[in-house]
Amino acid sequence: MFEGVLSTYPKRLDLWNQLLDLEIQQGDDGIIRALFERVLKTKGVKPKAAKVWFKRWSEWEDNHGDSKSQEKVRAKAKEWVRAAAEMKSKDASK
């Protein structure tokens, strides 16, 4: 049921946060990491929302991950910012 709602409203991070909370209660680190990454692949996530999402992911990795996983989050954040800047410049040139 949750998947149907998410496919209808993919930009609603409040829904993603609810799913994330449920998965954190289950405690499967692999599923949780995949969920964090899945949100960032969603088209149209605004920079402010992405910042909050990356912050939550970083805090979760601080508590449950190692230095390698923490660095991966930082690298993904930098990559997301770079890609968002490229999209913004493409949109401005149209």
Give the start-to-end residue ranges of the domains of the chain.
Answer: 2-93
pLDDT tens digit at each of 94 positions of the chain: 888 999 999 989 999 999 999 999 998 999 999 999 999 888 888 889 999 999 999 999 999 999 999 999 999 999 999 998 888 887 777 6
Report residue 25 as tokens: 């209660």
Q: Among all chains, which residue has been given the structure tokens 């493409």? A: 90
Task: Please say whether the beta carbons of 54 and 73 come within 8 A.
Answer: yes
